[in-house]
């Protein structure tokens, strides 16, 4: 026996796998107990000849297996190994590995072949799982709508999916093993990115991993595309791997730029509108004050008193002037609040005084519309209650609610005010016995220049009273709301932070 044959024999004796030998001339097959157990057999093994074993080899592997063993027996190669599937006694095919070679020879041909037999089903399953994972990974990369770029620890590109090809304008084959930093930032900052990547590799920490960052993707034609990039990493056997997920956000940035331009334009237009209204208000005040002044002079002229008809006409002129002046003041206040130019006082406002003054100022209007203002019977707690706000503007807001309750009421209707405590806030509620509002009416009530049912009820006004009330109260850190039901009247309320917070009853009626 030559040296190679002796070495092979020693290897066979030490092997944990099954052992076999085949006498070529006599076609006698000998197998170890381990060999037989691998296929589910015991001492009653049916394997006496080579063909007894070959018949168990899977039909797809049998011809190749037979050709390999017989070829070696005929001198075509001294050693061989072959993976194949073999039928187990239990009825299922298992992956096996047959290794063998010459152990006794006669001239240029062997007299006996021998070797090992090993089960490799676990390895095959692992390989199959790896192939499935690779297939799934490739499928994900292929089907992903967003660009995905995989790199090694140095940032060199290892994978480049079709979406990345479309984004960057390169073919996959053209960018493999090139550095990702060459494609995602302008040239002056690429070295800085490499340094940050190296810092992460050395320390395991980085500012980019685990969050989204804005980068510029550099296309093959030199143009740049705004992208959002998320970078993740895993530790593989051969080093750390990175995956960059990119998304083209140029359209989003364009929309954000347009939105910003529109916002700036709207703010500019709002400032221009406020400036125009402010100037026009001042310009209108001058002739209006002159008109009202002359009307007052005519009314006060004792030397040449006006006739009753003239006095009535001059009174109409004066009343119209007062109405127009109030309208100008409202428009100017609304414009100043919308533009942020209104200076609001933040001071304690006594509700008893505020409600009493407001109701007294509207007594003539209530008499004109035949509306009864309920008698005011304040409780001691209500007299001392205060809220934080601007007294003048809060009075304007309350008068707006009261005047609407009067003008949109039914004949011989009633209007009253209630005060209620809600935590650290106080609510002033103006209630009426009018025809009420539908839900759609309530939804539109606070819109500027909306006059509900103006076509059926000839009520004077401009439709900005509730809008102004809403803006005033919100500017004072308050809230405004309303409830109503057709046929059951309406309740509009405003709510402000309490300054002095005595214990209040559930409600306190106010009137004149």
Following DSSP, what letter does each residue of 7-66 receive, concatenated? HHHHHHHH-SSEEEEEETTTTEEEE-HHHHHHTT--TT---SSHHHHHTTB-HHHHHHHH
Q: Which domain holds residue 292?
A: 255-339
* Domain end call among 125, 157, 190: 125
Mean pLDDT of 308-337: 76
pLDDT over 80 (residue 326): no
CA separation, residue 302 to residues 296, 297, 299, 305 (Å) = 12, 10, 8, 5
Maximum CA extent, the chain: 158
229 and 104 in a single domain? The answer is: no
In a domain, 36, yes or no: yes
Residue 325's CATH number: 1.10.287.130
The percent of residues above 70 in pLDDT, for the chain, comes to 79
Residues facing 18 on adjacent strands: 117
226 and 272 in a single domain? The answer is: no
Mean pLDDT of 469-494: 88
Q: Between residues 333 and 265, which one has the greater pLDDT?
A: 265
Radius of gyration of the chain (CA): 48
Alpha helices in 372-511 (DSSP H): 380-384, 391-407, 439-445, 465-475
For β-strands 508-510 and 372-373, DSSP reports them as unpaired
Residue 226's CATH number: 3.30.450.20
* Domain end call among 219, 248, 277: 248
Residue pair 400/466 in contact by the 8 Å Cβ criterion: yes
pLDDT over 50 (residue 507): no
The percent of residues above 90 in pLDDT, for the chain, comes to 6
In a domain, 30, yes or no: yes
* Per-residue confidence band for 325, with pLDDT thresholds at 50, 70 and 90: confident
Residues facing 114 on adjacent strands: 21, 101
For residues 224 and 163, give the distance between their C-alpha atoms in angstroms, rounded to a whole number.
16
Residue-by-residue DSSP string for 146-174: S-EEEE-TT-BEEEE-HHHHHHH---HHH
pLDDT of residue 216: 84
Q: Which of 355, 361, 351 is nearest to 383 (CA)?
A: 351
In a domain, 95, yes or no: yes
pLDDT of residue 358: 87
> Which residues fall within 8 angstroms of residue 121, CB to CB, at 6 or more apart?
94, 95
Q: Between residues 212 and 113, which one has the greater pLDDT?
A: 113
Q: Between residues 217 and 154, which one has the greater pLDDT?
A: 217
User: Poorest-confidence range of 38-42, 221-225, 269-273, 332-336?
Assistant: 332-336
DSSP code, position 487: T
Token pair 């296929």 is found at 39
For residues 145 and 137, give the distance between their C-alpha atoms in angstroms, rounded to a whole number.
14
390 and 502 in a single domain? The answer is: yes
For residues 349 and 338, give the distance between their C-alpha atoms in angstroms, rounded to a whole number.
23
Residues facing 216 on adjacent strands: 226
In a domain, 311, yes or no: yes
For residues 78 and 101, give the distance between their C-alpha atoms in angstroms, rounded to a whole number.
5
Expressed in angstroms, the distance from the first to the final Cα of the chain is: 131
Handedness of CA 93, 94, 95, 97 (dihedral sign): negative
pLDDT of residue 383: 56
30 and 95 in a single domain? The answer is: yes
498 and 361 in a single domain? The answer is: yes
Tens-place pLDDT, residues 360-415: 888 888 888 888 888 656 555 555 678 888 888 898 889 889 988 888 888 889 99
* Per-residue confidence band for 188, with pLDDT thresholds at 50, 70 and 90: very low
In a domain, 136, yes or no: no
Q: Between residues 508 and 113, which one has the greater pLDDT?
A: 113
* pTM for this predicted structure: 0.45
Q: Which of 51, 50, 24, 53 is nearest to 36 (CA)?
A: 53
Mean pLDDT of 494-503: 73
For β-strands 372-373 and 414-422, DSSP reports them as parallel
pLDDT over 50 (residue 511): no
Indicate the average pLDDT of the chain.
79
Q: Report residue 388: phi and psi, to 5°.
A: -95, 125
285 and 407 in a single domain? The answer is: no
Mean pLDDT of 49-74: 91
For β-strands 386-389 and 425-432, DSSP reports them as unpaired
Residue 432: its H or E element? strand 425-432
59 and 113 in a single domain? The answer is: yes
User: Poorest-confidence range of 411-415, 422-426, 428-432?
Assistant: 422-426
pLDDT over 80 (residue 116): yes
Cα–chain center distance at 249: 15
Q: Between residues 433 and 230, which one has the greater pLDDT?
A: 433
Tens-place pLDDT, residues 237-275: 666 778 888 888 888 888 888 888 988 888 888 777 777
351 and 443 in a single domain? The answer is: yes
For residues 376 and 352, give the distance between their C-alpha atoms in angstroms, rounded to a whole number.
10
Q: Between residues 407 and 278, which one has the greater pLDDT?
A: 407
SS3 of residue 275 by DSSP: helix
pLDDT of residue 60: 93
* Domain end call among 98, 125, 152: 125
48-55 long-range CB contacts below 8 Å, 24 or more apart? 50/22, 51/27, 53/29, 53/86
For residues 34 and 56, give the distance between their C-alpha atoms in angstroms, rounded to a whole number.
17
Token pair 């809600």 is found at 422
Residue 353's CATH number: 3.30.565.10
Q: Which of 401, 389, 398 is nearest to 475 (CA)?
A: 389
197 and 279 in a single domain? The answer is: no
240 and 265 in a single domain? The answer is: no
Q: Report residue 378: phi and psi, to 5°.
A: -70, 145
Q: Which two tokens stand for residue 275?
A: 């400036």
In a domain, 389, yes or no: yes
In a domain, 132, yes or no: no
pLDDT over 70 (residue 431): yes
pLDDT of residue 13: 46
Tens-place pLDDT, residues 126-171: 777 777 776 666 667 676 778 888 888 777 888 888 888 888 889 9
Domain total of the chain: 4
In a domain, 205, yes or no: yes
Q: Between residues 481 and 284, which one has the greater pLDDT?
A: 481
Q: Between residues 206 and 122, which one has the greater pLDDT?
A: 122
174 and 31 in a single domain? The answer is: no
Alpha helices in 301-390 (DSSP H): 308-339, 351-361, 363-368, 380-384
* Per-residue confidence band for 449, with pLDDT thresholds at 50, 70 and 90: low
Q: Name, of 125-139, 140-154, 439-453, 472-486, the range with top average pLDDT.
A: 472-486
pLDDT of residue 341: 64
Residue 214: its H or E element? strand 212-218
387 and 476 in a single domain? The answer is: yes
Residues facing 151 on adjacent strands: 157, 242
Q: Between residues 198 and 171, which one has the greater pLDDT?
A: 171
pLDDT of residue 62: 92
pLDDT over 60 (residue 508): no
pLDDT of residue 303: 77
């Amino acid at each position: 026996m030559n040296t190679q044959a002796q070495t092979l024999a020693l290897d066979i004796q030490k092997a944990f796998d099954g052992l076999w030998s085949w006498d070529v001339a006599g076609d006698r097959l000998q197998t170890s107990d381990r060999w037989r157990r691998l296929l589910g057999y015991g001492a009653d093994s049916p394997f006496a000849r080579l063909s007894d074993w070959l018949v168990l080899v899977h039909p797809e592997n049998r011809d190749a297996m037979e050709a390999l063993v017989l070829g070696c027996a005929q001198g075509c190669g001294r050693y061989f190994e072959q993976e194949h599937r073999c039928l187990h006694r239990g009825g299922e095919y298992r992956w096996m590995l047959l290794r063998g070679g010459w152990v006794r020879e006669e001239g240029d041909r062997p007299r006996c072949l021998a070797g090992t037999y090993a089960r490799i089903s676990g390895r095959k399953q692992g390989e199959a799982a790896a192939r499935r994972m690779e297939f799934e990974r490739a499928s994900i990369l292929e089907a992903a709508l967003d660009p995905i770029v995989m790199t090694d620890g140095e940032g060199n590109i290892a994978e480049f999916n079709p979406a990345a090809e479309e984004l960057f304008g390169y073919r996959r084959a053209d960018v493999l093993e090139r550095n990702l930093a060459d494609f995602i930032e302008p040239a002056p900052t690429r070295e800085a990115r490499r340094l940050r990547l190296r810092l992460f590799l050395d320390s395991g920490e980085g500012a980019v991993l685990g969050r989204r960052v804005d980068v510029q993707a550099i296309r093959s034609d030199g143009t740049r595309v705004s992208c959002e990039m998320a970078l993740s990493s895993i530790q593989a056997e051969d080093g750390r791997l990175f995956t960059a997920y990119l998304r083209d956000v140029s359209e989003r940035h364009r929309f954000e730029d347009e939105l910003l331009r529109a916002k700036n334009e709207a703010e500019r237009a709002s400032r221009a509108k406020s400036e125009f209204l402010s100037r026009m208000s001042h310009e209108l005040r001058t002739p209006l004050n002159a008109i009202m002044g002359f009307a007052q002079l005519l009314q006060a002229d004792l030397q040449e008193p006006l006739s009753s008809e003239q006095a009535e006409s001059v009174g109409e002129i004066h009343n119209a002037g007062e109405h127009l002046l109030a309208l100008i003041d409202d428009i100017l206040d609304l414009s100043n609040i919308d533009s942020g130019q209104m200076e609001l006082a933040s001071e304690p406002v006594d509700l008893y005084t505020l409600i009493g003054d407001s109701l007294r100022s509207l007594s003539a209007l209530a008499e004109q519309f035949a509306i009864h203002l309920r008698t005011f019977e304040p409780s001691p707690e209500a007299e001392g209650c205060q809220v934080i706000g601007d007294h003048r503007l809060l009075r304007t807001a309350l008068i707006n609610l009261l005047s609407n309750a009067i003008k949109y009421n039914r004949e011989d209707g009633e209007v009253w005010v209630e005060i209620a405590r809600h935590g650290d806030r106080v609510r002033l509620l103006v209630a009426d016995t009018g025809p009420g509002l539908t839900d759609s009416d309530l939804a539109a009530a606070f819109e500027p220049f909306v006059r509900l049912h103006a076509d059926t009820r000839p009520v004077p006004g401009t439709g900005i009273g509730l809008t102004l009330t809403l803006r005033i109260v919100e500017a004072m850190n308050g809230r405004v709301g309303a409830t109503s039901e057709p046929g059951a009247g309406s309740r509009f309320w405003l709510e402000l932070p309490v300054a002095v917070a005595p214990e209040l009853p559930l409600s306190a009626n106010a009137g004149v």
